[in-house]
Structure 1
Amino acid sequence: MSDYTGADEEKAEITETTASVDESDPDAKFGGREARLALERKLLWKIDLRILGVLVPIYILNYVDRNNAGAARLRGFETDLHLKGQEFATLLSILYVGYIIMQIPSNMFLNYIGKPSLYLPGCMAVWGVKTKENALQIVDRVNFPGITNNFVGALLTRFFLGFVEAAFFPGALFLLSKWYKREEIGRRTAILYCGNLISNAFGSLMASGILSGMQGTLGHAAWRWLFYIEGSLTVFVAICAMFILPDFPTTTKWLTPSERTLAVQRMKEDAGVGDQGETEVGGQSSGLVQALSDWRVWWMSLAMTAQVVSLSFNAYFPTLSATLGFNNTVTLLLCAPPFAFASLAAFFLSRHSDQTKERFWHVASSFGLGIVGFIIAIGTMNTAARYVSL
């Protein structure tokens, strides 16, 4: 109860400070325009370190945990679970069923409680535990009576993994929207999304070392060590994130009073509203209705669906690389360079988009290049060309 009282007092203090200053000069309270710009640069540096410095590693682990089944497939995952036919593909896709179901309810709940510093890392810790459960799928039932050792057990684990992973990316974008203005958020979103790309490179490198060096360690298959190590790393990072990730500008403790006032004022100037009072149920319902009735949301959803479908081969990337004819270790190492290049391209493209304040042609040109890659992959069996197309 005392925590809520303290937050209310801080909001009242910010409101009083804002009201006491001549509204004709919003920079006066910061000592003038130049002083405000200097303070704003310092503020952005601090929140970049706190927010992106935490969200990017979380997103990397989010995709590492999500896609490690593709790497595990190279070391007996299917054989040990007695999978046949389309069961492996079903295991990959079932994750997104839980993911789709929970995205909107999760973000509404996050907005209601107003504690991303606890909610997002908490969900991360749960999906880390679910990842480790994958490692126990074929352990003898006498030792682990609560864990099944067949396709159904793996299916349920993957479904609930998607259930808790759904909280992160929409929640991360929501948190970014509370701290960054429209001309700032494009680059930050791209940096966040680089976590997805880096995970495909970093995850493959990690998987290469684990799968090649831990086969038979303590009597366990290497793919189980892959799930266990990556799940444990996820839980550790989640615990650390709880102490670093901020909440919203009005309730963050590590900002100075002037920085907190500026953080709130920036968002008011950019959007016309602050984040006070937005956790009310009526406000959330109204926002949901507005989103569902906006045709632009549906068009963007359609474009995003097309992009996700076109990139669905990511889960099979190690399998596709294996068709180039190299051994398992080299195959996993070959997965890294394409995504490292994509990370650099995403960063510089988004930076240029923010500078020019142009979005359409930046997006369209990226999609066009992707189409060329698909055409090359379909049209040739040349090893070098197929690798470049990826």
Structure 2
Amino acid sequence: MEANDQKTMMEQKSAALEKKPSVADGVTSEPLDAADRVVIEREQFPLLASMTAEQLTALERRVRRKVDSRLLPTLLVLYILNYLDRNTIAQAKLGGLQVDLGLTGSEYQTAVSIFYVGYILFQIPSNIWLNKIGKPALYLMTCMAIWGAISACSGAAQSYGGFLACRFLLGIFEAAFFPGCMYTLSTWYKREELGKRMAFFYCGSQLSGAFAGLISAGIVENMDGVRGLEPWRWLFIIEGAMTVFAVPFAYFILPNFPSTTRWLTKEEREMAVWRLHVDSNHAEWTRKEDQITWAAFVMLLQDWKNWILVAINYCTGASLSINTFFPAVLATLGRSRTETLLLTTPPYLLSCITMFSICWSADHFRERFWHMTAPLLTALTGFIVLGATTAFGARYFGAMIIIPGIYVSYNLSVIWQANTIYSPPAKRAGALAMSNSLGNIAGLYTAYLFPDSAAPRYALALGVNAGMIFISILLAAVLRFALARENRLIEKQEQEETVDGRLAHARGFRYVL
């Protein structure tokens, strides 16, 4: 009798799981049937259990709009500030940093690369800890206030050693931001909604690159000698102060996780949690007491899909090394210092437009591989052009297509990671941090590929970056075929129950290709 009851309950649950995605997407307007109510009640969503599909759809739209309006614009602004603080050193080089601190040989390259030591080491523990406490607004804004102060203090450095210390500490506290924001976004949005929102957030890095040139040109030209300070010092002080100023405002605007956000009603919180459960048939973050840490990390290490994604992210991230040296590369085009800084703006603006367009398409068609590899091929072409000639027009064209190609593909690789390593939440948090952390290992050595002596062609650096892009394309192809095989196995397993009556995979789940 007990076995029969269990089988009946499993049949009800399976039937309900098949219906739930269409209800949440608003495909049907019929009231929920008994099986749906059983599942909702069992998942502890009492306020949703008696709602019709129309009411659920209206509530879901309201929650999504409410979160979009507060989360996305705020993260965009914060990411602009984050990237400004990280890459101020690139503009500071043109503002007299090397001369004033007496940097010789490879000391400037070391100052660039030491940032990544702290940045790499602390991302994984930071993201797992963020998942444990469940309050990203508090945690991320605390880290942001500290790194803003450190960035401002970099402008007061009087020696090479002091400047190195500031760069190392900056990497430690900035380590929390990017993977923490990516994970926070993944706790609010379904997989088919995530791409365009991550793209909107990631546009902050491109807008930062665009604004950096404009801000730097203004500061370098107009603040040289103000209060006895060199312009590179003002760059650090002003941009660091902007970050600290933004923290208290962002803290009260940002949400935490769906279960811990106070400015949502109880009904809205239930919907925010339930709709992600519907999307993947996996439980999302509920209480900090339920979160696993070490076990999630072990699961991550044992997942072969994660390692392919990490490798893709690493190769794509390695080619991003040109970002830090982009003003130096453009300086070889023979324009003045101010003109060079202004020339850095258009590629980043083009990247914003390209990124949002391609990521919107990737979400619309629920596809990742082709949307990621097409920009990679574009960037590969740009590196070849940039390294093959010293003519102004051709080189600037190469630079124009490199930046959009790399940034779009890098963002899509992170989105693919979030879509693939989906559950449990702690594992997804670790995966996003690991991917970005190990992907930035290249920052430890790529800085040394751009010595001043290699100008104007920077042949070795551009060749290595092009090679990394080619490897990334090959790895993406391997992953696509592997995930397609996994999807075929899931389809087969959905039709076969195990001995105790449980499905081998959650019904309806498929990897996004």
Q: TM-score, normalised by structure 2?
A: 0.68
Counterpart in the other structure of 2:458:
none
Cα offsets for 1:120-150 (capped at 9, x unmatched): 011011110010111101xxxxxxxxxxx21
Cα offsets for 1:143-177 (capped at 9, x unmatched): xxxxxx21111111101100000000111111111
Report sequence identity in percent. Answer: 43
Cα offsets for 1:170-204 (capped at 9, x unmatched): 11111111111111111111111111111111111
Counterpart in the other structure of 1:207:
216
Larger Rg: 2
Does the CA contact (< 8 Å) of 1:30 and 1:36 recur in 2?
no
Matched, 1:359 2:368: yes
Q: Could you tell me how far apart the structure 2 residues matched to 1:73 and 1:287 are?
A: 42
Counterpart in the other structure of 2:274:
265
Does the CA contact (< 8 Å) of 1:121 and 1:242 recur in 2?
yes
Residue of 254, 275, 286 corresponding to 2:285: 275
Deviation, structure 1 residue 368? 0.7
Residue of 111, 117, 137 corresponding to 1:97: 117
Deviation, structure 1 residue 39? 2.1
Counterpart in the other structure of 1:8:
none
Q: Could you tell me how far apart the structure 1 residues matched to 2:91 and 2:121 are?
A: 26
Q: Could you tell me how far apart the structure 2 residues matched to 1:196 and 1:105 are?
A: 23
Counterpart in the other structure of 1:10:
none
Higher RCO, 1 vs 2 (CA within 8 Å, ≥6 residues apart) = 1
Deviation, structure 1 residue 42? 1.9
Counterpart in the other structure of 2:334:
325
Residue of 186, 192, 197 corresponding to 2:206: 197
Counterpart in the other structure of 1:68:
88
1:131-280 aligned at under 5 Å gives the runs 131-137=151-157, 149-271=158-280, 272-277=282-287, 279-280=289-290
Residue of 286, 296, 299 corresponding to 1:290: 299
* Alignment gaps of 5+ in structure 2: 1-32, 41-46, 400-513
Q: Could you tell me how far apart the structure 2 residues matched to 1:279 and 1:79 are?
A: 53
Does the CA contact (< 8 Å) of 1:22 and 1:28 recur in 2?
no
* Alignment gaps of 5+ in structure 1: 1-20, 138-148
Cα offsets for 1:225-283 (capped at 9, x unmatched): 111010000001112111111111112111123212211111221232031245546x1
Q: Could you tell me how far apart the structure 2 residues matched to 1:214 and 1:124 are?
A: 26
Matched, 1:116 2:136: yes
Counterpart in the other structure of 2:4:
none
Does the CA contact (< 8 Å) of 1:67 and 1:315 recur in 2?
yes
Counterpart in the other structure of 2:406:
none
Cα offsets for 1:331-364 (capped at 9, x unmatched): 1111010011011101010000001011011111
Deviation, structure 1 residue 211? 1.1
Counterpart residue type for residue 118 of structure 1: L
Residue of 381, 385, 390 corresponding to 2:394: 385
Counterpart residue type for residue 32 of structure 1: T
Does the CA contact (< 8 Å) of 1:111 and 1:279 recur in 2?
no
Counterpart in the other structure of 1:305:
314
Q: Could you tell me how far apart the structure 2 residues matched to 1:58 and 1:338 are?
A: 21
Does the CA contact (< 8 Å) of 1:210 and 1:226 recur in 2?
yes
Alignment partner of 2:253: what SS? coil
Counterpart residue type for residue 183 of structure 2: F
Deviation, structure 1 residue 38? 2.3
Q: Could you tell me how far apart the structure 1 residues matched to 2:50 and 2:290 are?
A: 31
Counterpart residue type for residue 383 of structure 1: F
Does the CA contact (< 8 Å) of 2:206 and 2:352 recur in 1?
yes
Alignment partner of 2:394: what SS? helix
Range with bigger deviation, 203-212 or 84-93: 203-212
Q: Could you tell me how far apart the structure 2 residues matched to 1:159 and 1:313 are?
A: 20
Counterpart residue type for residue 170 of structure 2: L
Counterpart residue type for residue 204 of structure 2: G
Q: TM-score, normalised by structure 1?
A: 0.89
- Output the aligned Cα RMSD: 1.6
Alignment partner of 1:89: what SS? helix
Counterpart in the other structure of 1:12:
none
Counterpart residue type for residue 261 of structure 1: E
Deviation, structure 1 residue 85? 0.6
